[in-house]
C-alpha cells in the first residue's frame, strides 16, 4: 500500500481510511492509498513549518546544490516512474516519460535561480540612511494539483517554492497520487531534507490546505469553478493565491499559413495527453481558402492517433481517467451533433474487446458546430475539436475572444502584420505564432479572464514565491 509522505515518514491517514487507485485503461486496481483529511494536513503543515526554520536559512548556493543533486537522482528514475504514471492516469508511456523528465528538469531549472535573484539598494534623501529591498520566502505553501499532468503541474509549484526557501504541503489529485509520491521519494533519496515537501492524499485534503492557518500561499491548478471556491476560502485567511484554471484556447489559421506545420501543431495541441491539456487547441478558426486542405490533413493525422492501453508502445492515445470525465466530453460532442454539427472524424468510442474495460474515446473533429454549442462556450477537456470556417482575421479574432477563458491562443500565418495583430488583440496569457503549443520553462505562463492569474514558469514564478521587504539603515 502506498503512503503519504510527512516529515520524511511514510504515513497512513489519521482516520485509517483508504481508497483504491484504478487503471483507467483496464479498470484494474493499481494500488491502495490513504484517504487523508484535515488531521493529516495539520501534521504536514506543522512538519513544513518546522522544516522552514532550517531550509529557509540555508545559504542559497547550498539550496541550489541540494536541489540539483536531488533532481539528478530523480531523473535517473524516469524509467521506473513513467509506468506508474501510465497505470494510474492512462497516458502513453511516451507521454509519461516526457512528463517525469520535465519534473526533474523543472526542479533543476529553479535550483539555478536560488542564488541568482537579487534585491535592491535604494538611495534615500537623508544621506545618513539608505534603503534596501530584500526578498524573503513566504513560508509554508500549499500546492494543489489536478490529474491531467500530475508531475509537471506539481513541479511548477514545488520547484520555485523550495528553490526560494519555502516549504510545501502538496496534494495530488485523488486519482493520480502514485507517480507524484515516487518523484518526491526520489528527491528525498537524492538528498532533499525531510519536511521540505510533504505529500497528503485524499479529496478532503484540498480544502484543509486552503483553510490551514500555517499555510500562507495557495497555488492551485484546476477547473475555474474550483478556482472560485479556493479564492473565496483563501480570502478568509488573506492568503496569497496563484490560480491556473481552465482554458478554451483558440487557434486561427489564415489562407497563407504553412498548413503542414499548422496541422501538426493542431493535432498535437488537441490530441496529446488524450486532449486533456489546459493549454491546447480547443477551438479552431480557419480562413475559407485554407479550409479544405487543412481539414484533409487534420483528418489524416487524427487517423494515426490510435487509442489503447498506454503501456502498449504502439498506441498514441490513452483513455480518459474516469467514466465521469468521458461522459462529460461525450455530452459536449452530442450537444454539438444535436444542434446540427457534422462529424468529420471519430465521434464515438473505439470498438473492440481491448477497449471494453477502459474509458476510451475516439479522437474527434466536428465542423458546422453552431454558435452557442457547448464546445464553443465551455472548456472541452478531451480529444474533440470544433472547427469553423471564417472569412478573415477580423472575424477570427472576434470569435477567438468570444469566450470567458484566456489561457493560451495561437495563429498560423505568413503575414507578419496579421501575426502582430493577433499578438496584440488575442485575450490570453500566451500566444504562439507559427509554433507548436508547448509551455517553456523560460517564459511566464498563466491566464487572464476566467483562466486565473499569477504565473508559473520563468523568473516570475520564482518571484511569486517571495515577498519583498523594505529596510532602512540609519546612522551610516
| Residues forming the site for ligand NAD (CB under 6 A) | 144-149, 153, 171, 173-174, 203, 206-207, 210, 220-223, 226, 229-230, 244-247, 278, 379, 381, 407, 447, 451
Beta carbons of 385 and 251 less than 8 angstroms apart: no
Nearer to ligand NAD, 146 or 347 (CB): 146
Q: Are 407 and 280 in contact (CB under 8 A)?
A: no
Residues 6+ apart with CB under 8 A from 471: 131, 132, 133, 134
CB nearer ligand NAD, residue 165 or residue 172: 172
Q: Which residues pair with 472 in a beta bridge?
A: 131
Q: Measured from the CB of residue 138, what is the shortest distance to ligand NAD in angstroms?
A: 19
- CB of 128 or CB of 324, closer to ligand NAD: 324
Active site residue 141: no
Taking each helix axis from N to C end, the angle separating 150-163 and 93-111, rounded to the nearest 10 degrees, works out to 10
State the DSSP H helix or E strand holding residue 467, giving kind and residue range, or none if neither: strand 466-473
Place of cell 495557495: 218
> What SS3 state is found at 240?
strand
240: cell is: 496569497
At 200 the three-state DSSP class reads coil
* Distance in Å, CB of 84 to ligand NAD, minimum: 18
Please, what is the minimum distance in Å from the beta carbon of residue 279 to ligand NAD? 7
Measured from the CB of residue 57, what is the shortest distance to ligand NAD in angstroms? Answer: 30
CA distance 137 to 380: 37
Range list of H helices, 303-415: 323-338, 374-377, 393-400
Catalytic residue of the set 88, 95, 99, 244: 244
Closer residue to ligand NAD in complex, CB, 55/359: 359
245 or 400: CB nearest ligand NAD: 245
Instruction: State the minimum distance, in angstroms, from the CB of residue 338 to ligand NAD.
Output: 24
266 contacts 284 by C-beta, under 8 angstroms: yes
Q: Which is nearer to ligand NAD, 139 or 452 (CB)?
A: 452
Which residue do the cell numbers 509506468 mark?
Answer: 83
Min CB(281)–ligand NAD separation in Å? 13
CB atoms within 10 A of CB 292: 11
Give the pairing type, strands 215-221 and 140-144. Answer: parallel
DSSP-assigned beta bridge partners for residue 412? 253
| Residue 344 host element (H or E) | strand 342-345
User: What length does the chain have?
Assistant: 476
Closest separation in Å from C-beta 201 to ligand NAD: 10
Whichever of 102 and 171 has its CB closer to ligand NAD, that residue is 171
User: Which one of the listed residues 88, 95, 278, 379 is annotated catalytic?
Assistant: 278
Write out the three cell numbers for 447.
491566464
CB burial class (10 A; 0-12, 13-18, 19+) of residue 163? buried
**Residue 476: which of 27, 131, 64 has the closest Cα?**
131
Find how far residue 364's CA is from the centre of its chain.
Answer: 23
| 323 vs 336: CA distance, rounded Å | 20
Q: Output the smallest distance, CB 203 to ligand NAD, in A.
A: 5
Contact assessment for residue 280 and residue 409, using Cβ atoms and an 8 Å cutoff: no
Shortest spacing between CB 147 and ligand NAD, in angstroms: 5
145 or 254: CB nearest ligand NAD: 145
Distance, C-alpha 423 to centroid of its chain: 23
HSE-CB at 297 with a 13 A cutoff on CA atoms is 17
Closest to ligand NAD by CB, 407 vs 419, is 407
As annotated, the active-site residues are: 244, 278
Amino acid at each position: 500500500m502506498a503512503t503519504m509522505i510527512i516529515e520524511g515518514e511514510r504515513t497512513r491517514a489519521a482516520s485509517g481510511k483508504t481508497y483504491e487507485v484504478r487503471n483507467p485503461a483496464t479498470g484494474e486496481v493499481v494500488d491502495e492509498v490513504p484517504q487523508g483529511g484535515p488531521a493529516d494536513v495539520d501534521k504536514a503543515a506543522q512538519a513544513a513549518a518546522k522544516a522552514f526554520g532550517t531550509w529557509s536559512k540555508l545559504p542559497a548556493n547550498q539550496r541550489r546544490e541540494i536541489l540539483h543533486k536531488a533532481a539528478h537522482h530523480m531523473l535517473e528514475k524516469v524509467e521506473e516512474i513513467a509506468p506508474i504514471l501510465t497505470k494510474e492516469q492512462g497516458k502513453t508511456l511516451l507521454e509519461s516519460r516526457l512528463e517525469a523528465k520535465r519534473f526533474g528538469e523543472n526542479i533543476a531549472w529553479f535550483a539555478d535561480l536560488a542564488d541568482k535573484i537579487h534585491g535592491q539598494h535604494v538611495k534615500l534623501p537623508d544621506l545618513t540612511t539608505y534603503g534596501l529591498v530584500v526578498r524573503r520566502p513566504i513560508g509554508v505553501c500549499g500546492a494543489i494539483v489536478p490529474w491531467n499532468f500530475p508531475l509537471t503541474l506539481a513541479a511548477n509549484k514545488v520547484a520555485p517554492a523550495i528553490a526560494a526557501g519555502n516549504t510545501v504541503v502538496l496534494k495530488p489529485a485523488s486519482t493520480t497520487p502514485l507517480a507524484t509520491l515516487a518523484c518526491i521519494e526520489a528527491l528525498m533519496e537524492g538528498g532533499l531534507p525531510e519536511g521540505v515537501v510533504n505529500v497528503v492524499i485524499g479529496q478532503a485534503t484540498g480544502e484543509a490546505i486552503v483553510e490551514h492557518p500555517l499555510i500562507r500561499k495557495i497555488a492551485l491548478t484546476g477547473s475555474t469553478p474550483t478556482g472560485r471556491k479556493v479564492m473565496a476560502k483563501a480570502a478568509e485567511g488573506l492568503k496569497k493565491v496563484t490560480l491556473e484554471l481552465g482554458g478554451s484556447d483558440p487557434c486561427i489559421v489564415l489562407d497563407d499559413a504553412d498548413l503542414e506545420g499548422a496541422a501538426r501543431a493542431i493535432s498535437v495541441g488537441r490530441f496529446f495527453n488524450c486532449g486533456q491539456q489546459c493549454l491546447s487547441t480547443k477551438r479552431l478558426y480557419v480562413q475559407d481558402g485554407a479550409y479544405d486542405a487543412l481539414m484533409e490533413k487534420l483528418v489524416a493525422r487524427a487517423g494515426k492517433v490510435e487509442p489503447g492501453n498506454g503501456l502498449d508502445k504502439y498506441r498514441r492515445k490513452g483513455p480518459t481517467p474516469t467514466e465521469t470525465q468521458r461522459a462529460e466530453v461525450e455530452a459536449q460532442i452530442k450537444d454539438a451533433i444535436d444542434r446540427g454539427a457534422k462529424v468529420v472524424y471519430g465521434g464515438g468510442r473505439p470498438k473492440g474487446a481491448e477497449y471494453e474495460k477502459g474509458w476510451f474515446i475516439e479522437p474527434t473533429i466536428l465542423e458546422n458546430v453552431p454558435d452557442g454549442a457547448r464546445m464553443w462556450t465551455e472548456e472541452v477537456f478531451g480529444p474533440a475539436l470544433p472547427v469553423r470556417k471564417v472569412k478573415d482575421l477580423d472575424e477570427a479574432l472576434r470569435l477567438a475572444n468570444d469566450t470567458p477563458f484566456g489561457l493560451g491562443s495561437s495563429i498560423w500565418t505568413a503575414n507578419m502584420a496579421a501575426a502582430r495583430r493577433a499578438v496584440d488583440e488575442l485575450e490570453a496569457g500566451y500566444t504562439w505564432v507559427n509554433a507548436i503549443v508547448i509551455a517553456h520553462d523560460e517564459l511566464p505562463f498563466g491566464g487572464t479572464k476566467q483562466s486565473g492569474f499569477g504565473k508559473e514558469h520563468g523568473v516570475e514564478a520564482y518571484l511569486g514565491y517571495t515577498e519583498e521587504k523594505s529596510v532602512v539603515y540609519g546612522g551610516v
